[in-house]
Amino acid sequence: MTENKGSQKYREAGVDIDKGNAFVDGIKSIVASTQQRGVLNEVGGFASFYAIDKNAYTNPVLVSSTDGVGTKLAVAIRCNRHDTIGIDLVAMCVNDIIVSGAKPLYFLDYFAVGQLDQEMGTDVVKGIAEGCRQARCALVGGETAEMPGLYQDKDYDLAGFVTGIVDRDEIIDGSIIRVGNKIIGLASNGLHSNGFSLVRKICFDDLGLSVDDNIEHLGTTLGEELLRPTRIYVQAILNVVKHFKINGMVHNTGGGFYDNTPRVLPQGCKAVINKSTWPVPPIFSFLAEKGGVDETEMYRTFNMGIGFMLIVEERSLNDIMQQLTALGETPYYIGDILPGGDGAPSVELID
- DSSP class of residue 151 equals B
- Higher local confidence (pLDDT), 123 or 41: 123
Average pLDDT, stretch 237-261? Answer: 96
Backbone angles phi, psi at 200, to 5 degrees: -65, -40
Question: How far is the C-alpha of 334 from the C-alpha of 273, rounded, in Å?
Answer: 6
Give residue 2's pLDDT. Answer: 42
To which H or E segment does residue 250 belong?
A: strand 248-251
Give residue 197's pLDDT. Answer: 97
Structural domain spans, the chain: 2-170, 182-350
Sequence-distant (6+) residues with CB within 8 A of 46 are none
Give residue 45's pLDDT. Answer: 77
Give residue 150's pLDDT. Answer: 92
Side chain identity, residue 56: A
The closest of 264, 246, 225 to 323, measured between CA atoms, is 246
Q: Are the C-beta atoms of 225 and 215 separated by less than 8 Å?
A: yes
Integer-rounded Cα Rg, in Å, for the chain is 22
Q: What is the DSSP string of 180-210?
A: T-EEEEEE-SSSTTS-HHHHHIIIIIIS---
End-to-end CA distance of the chain: 74
For residue 299, pLDDT beyond 50: yes
Alpha helices in the chain (DSSP H): 2-12, 17-32, 72-79, 85-97, 118-135, 196-200, 222-226, 234-243, 256-260, 282-291, 295-301, 317-326
Give residue 5's pLDDT. Answer: 54
For residue 298, pLDDT beyond 50: yes
Entry pTM:
0.94
Average pLDDT, stretch 270-274? Answer: 98
Give residue 63's pLDDT. Answer: 98
Give pLDDT tens digits for 154-206: 899 999 999 999 999 999 999 999 999 999 999 999 999 999 999 999 999 99
Q: Which CATH number fits domain 2-170: 1.10.8.60, 3.40.50.150, 1.25.40.10, 3.30.1330.10?
A: 3.30.1330.10
Give residue 79's pLDDT. Answer: 97
Give residue 88's pLDDT. Answer: 98
Give residue 4's pLDDT. Answer: 55
Question: How far is the C-alpha of 61 from the C-alpha of 39, rounded, in Å?
Answer: 18
Average pLDDT, stretch 17-27? Answer: 80
Tell me how far the alpha carbon of residue 20 is from its chain's centroid: 27
The closest of 96, 92, 223 to 172, measured between CA atoms, is 96
Provide the mean pLDDT of the chain: 93
What is the CATH architecture assignment of 182-350?
Alpha-Beta Complex (3.90)
- Topology agreement, domain 2-170 and domain 182-350: no
Q: What percent of the chain has pLDDT over 90?
A: 81
Query: Mean pLDDT lowest for which of 28-32, 85-89, 131-135?
Result: 28-32
Give residue 3's pLDDT. Answer: 47
- Higher local confidence (pLDDT), 279 or 34: 279
The closest of 276, 275, 274, 298 to 286, measured between CA atoms, is 298
* DSSP three-state, residue 163: strand
Side chain identity, residue 338: L
Query: Mean pLDDT lowest for which of 149-153, 211-215, 332-336?
Result: 149-153
Give residue 41's pLDDT. Answer: 80
For residue 1, pLDDT beyond 50: no
Tell me how far the alpha carbon of residue 210 is from its chain's centroid: 25
Query: Mean pLDDT lowest for which of 30-34, 162-166, 286-290, 315-319?
Result: 30-34
Give residue 6's pLDDT. Answer: 53
Question: How far is the C-alpha of 209 from the C-alpha of 312, rounded, in Å?
Answer: 43
